[in-house]
Chains A and B, each alone.
Chain A
Amino acid sequence: GAVVSQHPSWVICKSGTSVKIECRSLDFQATTMFWYRQFPKQSLMLMATSNEGSKATYEQGVEKDKFLINHASLTLSTLTVTSAHPEDSSFYICSAIDFNEQFFGPGTRLTVL
C-alpha cells in the first residue's frame, strides 16, 4: 500500500515556542490530507482537513490560529503548533488518500515542557 511519513517522529520543546510537523506522501500524490490528535488512552480526534492549494478546514473547537496547516504541494502538508503549551503535548497523526483509501503516518509525539 501507499506510504505516508511524518517528521519528526518525536519532538520536545519549551513552552511558548512553535513546532512544525511534516506529513509526506512518499509514492503518491495527495490533494487531501488529514490531521489528527491523540491524547493518552484516548481515540484519535480529527483536527482538520488539509487541501492542496487552498485553506484547511478545521473541526469545531480546533483553533485555526494555533494549529497552522499548509498544504503547498501534492506530497507535503505541514502542521505548525504555534506558541505551544504543555496542554498541547499529544500524539499527532496525519493521513492521506490514495485511490479512495486512507493511509496513516506513523505519528509525531510532541512534548511541551
Chain B
Amino acid sequence: DAKTTQPTSMDCAEGRAANLPCNHSTISGNEYVYWYRQIHSQGPQYIIHGLKNNETNEMASLIITEDRKSSTLILPHATLRDTAVYYCIVHRDDKIIFGKGTRLHILP
C-alpha cells in the first residue's frame, strides 16, 4: 500500500496559490518526498522532491515539516492548465508505488 495520505480532491481559484497537503507519518530517515502530477490521459510529470529542507523550482515549492511526517506542495499562481491529479510519494529506491492522489480542480 502507498505510504502517504492525501485529500481526494481540492478546488482552487485561478490565480491563487494551490496548497496540496500530504501526510507521510511512517516515512523513514532516508526516504525522499516526491511529487508528480498526471494530466488527463498523459503520463505522470515530475514536479519536485525533497528530503528535509524546503525546496523550490520553477513549477512549485515543497514545504516539509521538521518531523518530516507531512508536507505541502504549493503552486504559487494556479492556472487552468494545473488541473490534474497530484501524487505525493515517499521512496528511497527506484520503485515508485502510487497512491490515489489529489484531484485538483482549478476554477476560472
A, B in one complex: yes
- Interface of A with B (CB < 8 Å)? 1, 4, 6, 32, 34, 36, 43-46, 49, 91, 93, 95, 97, 101-107, 109
> Which of the 9-residue segments B12-20, B39-47, B66-74 touches chain A?
B39-47
- Interface of B with A (CB < 8 Å)? 36, 38, 41-46, 85, 87, 94-101
Closest 10 CB pairs of A and B: A104-B43, A44-B98, A104-B44, A43-B98, A106-B43, A107-B43, A93-B43, A105-B43, A43-B100, A97-B94
Assembled-state Cα–Cα distance A31/B87 (Å): 25
Q: How far is the CB of A13 from chain B (nearest CB, A)?
A: 19
Establish whether residues A1 and B100, one from each chain, have CB atoms under 8 Å apart when the complex forms. Answer: no
Can you list 6 contacts pairing A with B, beta carbon distance less than 8 Å?
A34-B94, A43-B99, A44-B98, A95-B96, A102-B46, A105-B43
Establish whether residues A107 and B42, one from each chain, have CB atoms under 8 Å apart when the complex forms. Answer: yes
CB nearest to A36 among chain B residues: B98
Q: Which residues of B contact A43 (CB under 8 A)?
A: 85, 87, 98-101
From B85, B95, B101, residue with most partner A Cβ within 10 Å: B95
